[in-house]
Structure 1
Amino acid sequence: MKVVCAPERMLPEHLDEETEYFSLYTIPSNKKIGHIAQDWRLRLKKMGFYPDVVTWDFVTIAMSVCAADLACLRKKTADGWTREIELSITLCNKKNWIPHIDKLQDAFRFLTGDFWEIKLNDGGDFPLEPLQKTTSSADCISLLSGGMDSLIGAIDLTEKGRSPCFVSQMAKGDSKKQTEFSQTLNGKVRHYQWNHRIKVPHVTERSTRGRSLIFISYGVLAATILKTKDPVELYIPENGFISLNIPLNEGRFGSLSTKTTHPVFLGIIQEIFNSAKMNISIKRPYQGYTKGEMIKNCTNQSTLFKHIGNTTSCGRFGYYNYQHCGRCVPCLVRRAAFLSAGIPDTTTNKYYFDDLGNPDSEREKGANDIGAVARACLLFRERGIDDVIGGSLSFASKSIEGRKFYADVVENGLKELDALLTKHGVL
């Protein structure tokens, strides 16, 4: 599968039918060509952004990967899943990134479960010079998705006396709450909400993983306006159980289990930042915590209780008309966390599938993760944590934290889920 991302002026007049084309930062005249972040340069100019070329090109790479992830359909592959993607990206200065191509390909391979071949070209459009450059009084960057974990991360940072600049990826159903959380916690510092506005000229792949890379790139972009000379701390608040996303059965191995904040993926990205001399230090403050532990340890419980019900966890939030489905893995982890923390579940509009132990024949359509979670809990009960984990923590032996650190958070997460399914009569 071939994908080309370049300014419209550099795209061919006659298109190869076997290649996907995307115009960078403008809407092309040819409707068969997709486009990425139209008016992006003008939007950043109005906001006072003029990032360095390395950062600008990193954002371009991230957006191009996401576009390719959306455009290349898994159902067209031999196994119906694993893709071989040849991605050509036009940058401002490819020399800055050629030394890092192998690591980029490794990161994308781990993130999406596909094989990537990255080709870089020169000739990209530079950002527009702003009339007045923006600076920020913030002392760190924190990703704010609208989810529970990012809310807790934001609360904890502000309670420690930090002044985070919040960065969000706009999403229907979440953008308003992102603004609400930001204004509540750090209204004196500007909150940046960006949208990649990727348009694919045909049906898109639903199992996308590349979107998380854009989220990180937004954090890197925002970091360019901070005054600190030390490495800018980029906080990615997510509980360790979801971050590891251990396959809960044989059918969820590989790219069927998302790795968007997995320590291996973020470790490779940090290596790229270091070798490319980008002034960014990724922070994973909750890697050793379950969601329930994050709730219990949050440093401002009153603020958390006021907003926690309005956070989003569901992997199918839009599909169920912006209501939590209640039975996907993120929803089950959310519900288990409320139970473990011993507080009422105040989730807005409750759950589409509220009673986990009462199958509804009229609602049997759609994905259902209850069985996979129940199986993992039973396996843990009968054989212990090692049989559940299998080889999923092979990376941990080389990590600073060690295997036990990661195994403990999986074990504690399963205990929370076990308690939830037991309460509902599933186990």
Structure 2
Amino acid sequence: MTSGRGRCGVAKAVIKVDGRQDPLVVRLDGPKRTFHLQTDPIRTKLCAELDPLNEDLLEIAATVFAADSAVKRGGETRQRMGQGWHRSFDFRIPVRNPTFWNRKEVMQALVDAVSFLTDDHLSFTFSQKAECTALEPFLDFAPDGAAFDAEEVILFSGGLDSFAGALEALSTSSKKVILLTHRSAQKAISRQVKLGEYLAHRFEGRVLHIHVLARRVGQEASDSSQRSRSFLFAALGQLVAKSFGAQRLSFYENGVISHNLPISSQVVGTMATRTTHPLSIRKLNALMKHLGPDHVSIENQYCWLTKRDVVERIAQHNGTAQIPISVSCTSIREQTTLHTHCGACSQCLDRRFALLAAGLGSSDFATDYATDVLYDPRYNLQSRTIAVEWTRHALSLCTGDQRAFLMAFGTEFARIADGHPEQSKQSVLDQSVAMHMRHGKNVEQVLEGVLRERPRDILHGKLSGTSLVALIIGQQRDGLDPSLTAPPAVETQMPETKPEDEVDLVLNPEDPLRVVFANEDGSPVVNIRGLCVLTGPPAIVPTDLKPTFLEDLITLRSPSDYRYVASGTLAARQSKPKSTIRQQVKRCRHIISESYKLLHGEELASDRFIQTRSPQGYRLAPSIVLIDEES
């Protein structure tokens, strides 16, 4: 089947990748294509030509997605992420309108959106695509001469959230809806089809389900994080919404997943996905605006709901029987007919806890999980680590303390607030903290239920020592990294706040930086609480300066007399030139400054963390507050 583009000189995108000798080549057309973008399901249902800029956008997004999945991030385990988790791509892409795409403001919007989604370093250059001699119109007119008159396009993955959104949209209105599904994983297709058929049958004449195949040709993806997937999905949605005249383009994703707060200091960089993050959607919309005044804005209709809130809407609209068909698991490759969920990834944890908290556990069979989320042994360290970190993180949110929330997630909150410019920061904070508190309470409720239902098994140690329940409630710690079950690091006493006192929205910019030094798989990690986490080279110099700082602190030196460490001494410790030390310090300051500016809206003085004096060298600022080390 042809793509409908007619006969063209086969266009190819060339992508230079740092660390690779040969560039990547992405071909969307021709007999030697490397990526299959099947748009025929769209064109056969339309009655108007596609907009060339939207075609360009879709092909740019497909090229980015192809490159994203072709280049592996980080190391073999998440403990070895560091700076290797970030990649650098230089894209050279042929398009129909290079003048438009090379415009400074368009290029800036594109880089801004995609780099935030992927957390990679990106650059683009666009060239003229060879003109096609059309063998046939790109669009085949519908046989009856009338296109489907859609009012909303829903990006439909077949998970609980998108199913709930489609079900609610159709149950609470008379609108016609297009379900747009991106087919990339073969094992998920049958379930996506079944859910679509259910909705089309129940709401006869009001549902059109379009499947678009977009996947690599000839080999599986090297990287499974696929953070650029939402760019491809949004580009597809924009094309379909504009072509069908729909006025709304919707993601339906619960806010806990969208915000995706880091569950521990080990989760850095792209491990914390931003696929439907509020700022991701804002940046994608900023890019879409350049396509013209008739562009369709993307919205996340479930941005303030927890997973439990979502599944309760499925029950409210009589869709409970379809819950077992939906798939939330991120480990698609490991799925089998018997086990549709791994039970080990954070999405499986989120799904199972939400359904149990909502009283819908019987609609989500425990046997569908390869590892029972609560009770089965977890045979590898990664599974145990995720279970403990995810659960402890959720329980830490139960208090609803806004100041504690900002202390722990200051930079993340600033990004969330930046994604909602139509609201005040206080309003965003109120909603975000309330939502995460509900999420924490849901997890707490499920674990309290376990204590009521199986007290003797827990008391007498009859549960597997590596099950989630045993690891969290405290039965055993066999085979787990001790740092995961140790009490959280104790911070220095915060000043008491009287109940009637008004707590500032953000921490005082003049407060000292509160710093945790840790070690992760032999590499330094510096956690500046409420601001950012430094890993890789930016964390090396402050870690090397810490022993001298501690000696001066313990011996009660005057802050003005805290000692500097010569750059030559630091260079000798690393067996690196002095220029490397300067670059490490520069990068460290840049990361902290960018995070500080995002949170407080102003520049951070360069001497607030690492101070420099020539020729003495470098020292940690005497004003910083060290928090007890994380093991």
TM-score range, shorter chain: 0.7 to 0.9
> Who is 1:194 aligned against?
212
1:8 positional shift: 6.3
- 1:84 aligns with one of 61, 85, 88: 88
Aligned partner of 1:375: which letter? R
For residue 193 of structure 1, give the secondary structure of its aligned residue in structure 2: strand
> Who is 2:188 aligned against?
174
> Who is 1:240 aligned against?
255
Residue 415 of structure 1 pairs with residue 441 of structure 2: yes
- Residues 115, 122 of structure 2: 8 Å contact kept: yes
Distance 1:151 1:107, change over 3 A: same
Residue 385 of structure 1 pairs with residue 405 of structure 2: yes
- Residues 332, 417 of structure 1: 8 Å contact kept: no
> Who is 2:389 aligned against?
372
For residue 62 of structure 1, give the secondary structure of its aligned residue in structure 2: helix
1:11 positional shift: 5.2
Sequence identity of aligned pairs in percent?
22
**Where does structure 1 lack aligned partners over 5 or more consecutive residues?**
1-6, 29-33
Distance 1:397 1:327, change over 3 A: same
Which is worse superposed, 193-202 or 66-75?
Answer: 193-202
Superposed CA deviations along residues 239-268 of structure 1, whole A, max 9, x for unmatched, are 000011111001112211111001100101
1:397 positional shift: 4.1
Distance 1:352 1:9, change over 3 A: closer
- 2:197 aligns with one of 168, 183, 188: 183
- Residues 329, 345 of structure 2: 8 Å contact kept: yes
- 1:224 aligns with one of 238, 242, 246: 242
Distance 1:74 1:8 in 2: 33
- Residues 261, 409 of structure 2: 8 Å contact kept: yes
Q: TM-score, normalised by structure 2?
A: 0.59
- Residues 323, 351 of structure 1: 8 Å contact kept: yes
> Who is 2:52 aligned against?
53
1:202 positional shift: 8.3
Which is worse superposed, 309-318 or 218-227?
Answer: 218-227
Structure number, greater radius of gyration: 2
For residue 25 of structure 1, give the secondary structure of its aligned residue in structure 2: coil
1:78 positional shift: 8.6
1:282 positional shift: 1.3
Aligned length: 408
- Residues 188, 332 of structure 2: 8 Å contact kept: no
> Who is 2:609 aligned against?
none
Distance 1:250 1:12, change over 3 A: closer
> Who is 1:137 aligned against?
149
> Who is 1:281 aligned against?
297
Distance 1:354 1:318 in 2: 18
- Residues 264, 395 of structure 1: 8 Å contact kept: yes
Distance 2:182 2:40 in 1: 18
Distance 1:386 1:200, change over 3 A: farther
Aligned partner of 2:340: which letter? Q
Distance 1:299 1:340, change over 3 A: closer
Aligned partner of 2:198: which letter? T
- Residues 249, 296 of structure 2: 8 Å contact kept: yes
> Who is 2:523 aligned against?
none
Distance 1:343 1:44, change over 3 A: closer
1:392 positional shift: 1.0
1:238 positional shift: 0.6
1:94 positional shift: 1.8
Which is worse superposed, 286-295 or 49-58?
Answer: 49-58
Superposed CA deviations along residues 395-416 of structure 1, whole A, max 9, x for unmatched, are 2444334222222222222222
Superposed CA deviations along residues 105-138 of structure 1, whole A, max 9, x for unmatched, are 1111111111111111111566843342672122
Distance 2:355 2:307 in 1: 9
Residue 311 of structure 1 pairs with residue 331 of structure 2: no
Query: Within 5 A, what are the aligned runs for 1:1-400?
Result: 9-10=10-11, 18-28=22-32, 35-37=34-36, 40=38, 45-48=43-46, 50-75=49-74, 79-99=83-103, 100-123=106-129, 128-132=137-141, 135-161=147-173, 162-170=175-183, 171-186=185-200, 187-188=204-205, 189-199=207-217, 204-227=222-245, 232-277=247-292, 278-298=294-314, 300-302=316-318, 304-321=319-336, 323-347=340-364, 349-360=367-378, 363-364=379-380, 367-368=383-384, 369-380=386-397, 384-398=404-418, 399=420, 400=422
For residue 283 of structure 1, give the secondary structure of its aligned residue in structure 2: strand
For residue 94 of structure 2, give the secondary structure of its aligned residue in structure 1: strand
Superposed CA deviations along residues 361-416 of structure 1, whole A, max 9, x for unmatched, are xx326544112113314544688534443421112444334222222222222222
- Residues 25, 41 of structure 1: 8 Å contact kept: no
Superposed CA deviations along residues 269-310 of structure 1, whole A, max 9, x for unmatched, are 1111123215202121110110101222447442x2110121
> Who is 2:562 aligned against?
none
